[in-house]
Chain A
Amino acid sequence: MMGGETMITLSDYLILSAIVFCIGLAGIFINRTNIITLLMCVELMLAAVNTNFIAFSYFMGDQAGQIFVFFVLTVAAAEVAIGLGILTLVFRNKGSINIDVTNNLRG
């Protein structure tokens, strides 16, 4: 096997997940369209973080990272379910899922 600079190092994976994370982050406040896009950007961020964990687990040889990803997956699924439920309620009450309709806490 060849070694040296041609291997994919940990930092490559980390930078990749950082990039994807920031894309999701930018997506949250760039798009003003609807709440669903917001939720999807959150999912993207979670995926990036998971990648981070698995990269560490692979390079460090510790399984704890993958276990953690397991749980993150679980929680994310639960969160999406409830989030979409709330979204439905918002649509039911406000008639639209534009983000601007959820400004009840405006000062």
Chain B
Amino acid sequence: MEFEQILFYVFSFWLIASSLAMVFSRNTAFSALFLILSFFSTASLWLLLEAEFLAITLILVYVGAVMVLFLFVIKMLDINDSTLRAKFTRYLPIGIGVAVVIIGEMSLVLGSSQFGLAEVSEPIRHAADYSNITELAKELYTTYVYPFELAAVLLLIAIISAITLIHRVDSRAKKQSITEQVNTRAEDRVRLVSISSPNDGRRNNDNS
């Protein structure tokens, strides 16, 4: 067997194993960690498929940011695991049954008779100085520049919405209201009062 094939089978084994473990794990934190493992396996597979940039991005963005976020939330919220396991086994058979059937059918569709070597030819192996990122950039900034910009806007919206959802106004905090400050009028702040002064304004009683 080729080295590639060995790699493929190892990585796919770990992928499937860790995803199964994630689904069946009792501890939520363990599930998250198993998911991280599956992402690593996926990234390795993508390296095999000559998509280095995306593999690294997967690790950096997904595992580095998204999964860390997951772990934050898991540790922040007090999850009582013991009471949550009660109904697990009731739906196990039917869930597995449906999943197996879907896999079977999809295999029939995606099997070698449709997508095997006879239909899809061997891929072109690139040379060692092949830069995936350059190729990606060539496509991204020319043909797909519009969706690129839109993706940026999407991220902005996500930021805003996330903040808006969570933000709690603390009524005890003292804040400035800039609008009010700018809209004040003189008469709200200053009042001129006339007071009669003793001795007609002079300091002492004599007339000098």
Mark A residues whose CB is within 8 Å of B. Answer: 2-16, 18-20, 22-27, 29-34, 36-37, 39-41, 43-44, 47, 50-51, 54-55, 57-61, 63-64, 66-67, 69-71, 73-82, 84-89, 91, 96-98
Chain B residues with Cβ under 8 A from A27's Cβ? 19, 22-23
In the assembly, what is the distance between CA of A88 and CA of B139, in Å? Answer: 39
Q: Mark B residues whose CB is within 8 Å of A.
A: 1-2, 4-5, 8, 12, 15-16, 19-20, 22-24, 28, 31-32, 35, 38-39, 42, 45-46, 49-51, 53-54, 57-58, 61-62, 65-66, 69-70, 73-74, 76-77, 79-81, 83-88, 91-92, 95-96, 98-100, 102-103, 106-107, 110-112, 114-117, 120, 122-124, 132, 135-136, 138-140, 144, 147, 151, 154-155, 157-159, 161-162, 165-166
Known: A60-B120, A63-B138. 12 other contacts (CB 8 A): A7-B5, A10-B116, A23-B20, A26-B95, A30-B88, A31-B88, A33-B28, A36-B79, A58-B50, A61-B123, A74-B151, A81-B159
Residues of chain B with a CB closer than 8 A to A8's CB: 4-5, 8
Most B Cβ at <10 Å: residue of A31, A54, A59, A64: A31
In angstroms, how far is the closest chain A Cβ from the Cβ of B71? Answer: 10
For the complex of A and B, list the 4 residue pairs with the smallest distance between their C-beta atoms, beginning with the closest. A78-B158, A27-B23, A26-B99, A11-B115
A51 in contact with B151 given A23-B20, A29-B91, A30-B92 (CB within 8 Å): no
B84 to chain A, nearest CB (A): 4
Nearest chain-A residue to B8 (Cβ)? A8
- Give min CB distance, A48 to chain B, whole Å: 8
Given the known interface contacts A58-B51, A63-B139, A73-B62, the answer about A82 and B158 at a Cβ–Cβ threshold of 8 Å is: yes
Rounded to whole Å, the gap between the CB of A57 and the closest CB of chain B is 7
A-B contact count (CB 8 A): 231
Q: A-side binding surface: helix, strand, loop or mixed?
A: helix
CB pair B92 A51 closer than 8 Å: no
Complex CA gap A50/B19 in Å reads 15
Which residue of chain A has the shortest Cβ distance to B102 in the bound complex?
A22
How distant is the Cα of A64 from the Cα of B159 in the complex, in angstroms? 27
A36-B115 CB under 8 A given contacts A25-B99, A30-B88, A59-B123: no
A-B residue pairs in contact (CB < 8 Å), sample of 24:
A7-B122, A13-B49, A16-B15, A20-B38, A22-B100, A36-B28, A36-B73, A37-B23, A47-B62, A58-B123, A59-B123, A63-B139, A67-B140, A70-B57, A70-B140, A73-B58, A74-B154, A77-B62, A77-B66, A78-B157, A85-B165, A86-B165, A88-B77, A88-B165
Contact B66 A9 (CB under 8 A): no
Kindly list chain A residues whose C-beta atoms are within 8 Å of the C-beta of B73: 36, 84, 87-88
Task: Say whether A77 contacts B165, CB under 8 Å.
Answer: no
